[in-house]
Structure formats: structure tokens, C-alpha cells
Structure 1
């Protein structure tokens, strides 16, 4: 009987240790892998950006400068910042209806304005929301918008 009790106690102890180890491993892996799908690039011009990253919108002018591009590798979320040659949006962008909402993607960056959603003034080809701050273009694409974009 003592041997059976010892086996049961050892089995339960092993099960508890394995369960705890699995929980710790899952928590650590989530912390270690968090952000691994978030990518960022910077390019001197729109032309170079589009040649290097084919996922950049084709409507970005070739002569745009200081291009910043953040995206997720797991879906269609994108963020774009560039200085345009003039204070006007590309011609493929159309005015956003005042009742439209412009949720921002989950992609993170230190340059994307926290209040961007409230500043969107246009929709550009591919479903991008956009606005200008002087000649600086801020544009973004949400995964859901990418699926429904014309």
C-alpha cells in the first residue's frame, strides 16, 4: 500500500510540475514573440521605397521623401509617413465622408500620431485612410479595410 501511495504522490507531483512548466513556457513565449511580426523600413524616396517593398501603395509619389513604412507580416495592416513634393494628396485619394470612421491599425510606431483616426480626410486606392499635415502625408490601412477595399 505504501508503494502505491508513493507512486500516486510522485505521479501527481510530476503532473503539477509539468503543468506549471508549460504555463511558464507559454507566458514567456508570448513575451518573447510579441512584436516579431511587426516590421519597419525607412527610405529616402518614394521611388526607392516602392522598388524595395512591393506592398507599398503605388499611389505614393516617386518624389516623396523621408518615407517611413511600418507593417505586420501576418496581415494587411500598414502605416505610411512621407513628405510629399506639394501640400496636396495624390490624385487617387478622394475626400472622406464626414460620417466615416477611420480606426487605426494595431501596428505600432513612434512616429504615428495618436490622434490620427480623428484627422483622416481622405481614402486612397487600396483602402488607405490619409491626411496631410503641411506636406507630410500620414496614411494607414487596417486589415478589415484591406479586405473590403475596391
Structure 2
């Protein structure tokens, strides 16, 4: 099986998202200032169902996070929240159209979805960290013959 990490596949996938094309997208890191996005892994049970063949249905939970301008400007804060609503809708549309991340051989993606609304996680004087909890479900081919 190819050793492509799921985090790397998700990063490539979100780099192609038209909503994020003007932003930097990293993994497990955000700057203190400036607008950027990050795919942050979250701990969870990975295997949803195991089959006799050795194959399994799995999930990969992650937060899609960003540092955004934040403050008393209601319009800016609404725009930040609205972007996360659009990201959730984009993931739903991608799943329906079967346009899912390339996970490499032996792993077939089934769906990508938001599991929460986007929300303000932490704030500093001029920026806020927003995030949305997401899930990728995929089938992993077993090694048994």
C-alpha cells in the first residue's frame, strides 16, 4: 500500500477548494497573525467496521482551522462564519459528486463532511481562530487473500 498520509491527501484536496485558493493551507500549524488555514488531526477511533477479509471501513477526524481578522466589526465576523458555512456546503457537494481526496491505492474515500458548524475557538486582540470539525470516511482494503 502507498504510504501517502491522509493529512497530505486532505491538504492537496483543500488546496483545490475554490473557497481557499487565496489562502495558505498547512497541517497542524497556524500563524499568530494573518489569514491562513490548517488541517489539524484529532484523536478518534479509526476503525468503524472490520470485515472478515481484513478490509475495514475507517474514519479520519480532523479540524479545518483558520486564523482570521476578528474584532468589533460585525460584518467581518459574519464573513468569517459565512465562509465556514460555505466550506460545509462545499464538502457536501463534493461528496454528492464523488469528488473526494485521492488516498492512494488500497484506500477508497466514501465521504467527506462537516460534523459541526464553524465556530470561534479562541481570540486575540485582532484575530480569531475559527474551526469546523470534519470527518473523512474511507474503505481500506485488507491484506488477507
TM-score normalised by L of structure 2: 0.32
Higher RCO (Cα < 8 Å, 6 or more apart): 2
Structure showing the higher strand proportion among its residues: 2
Structure showing the higher helix proportion among its residues: 1
> Which has the greater radius of gyration?
1
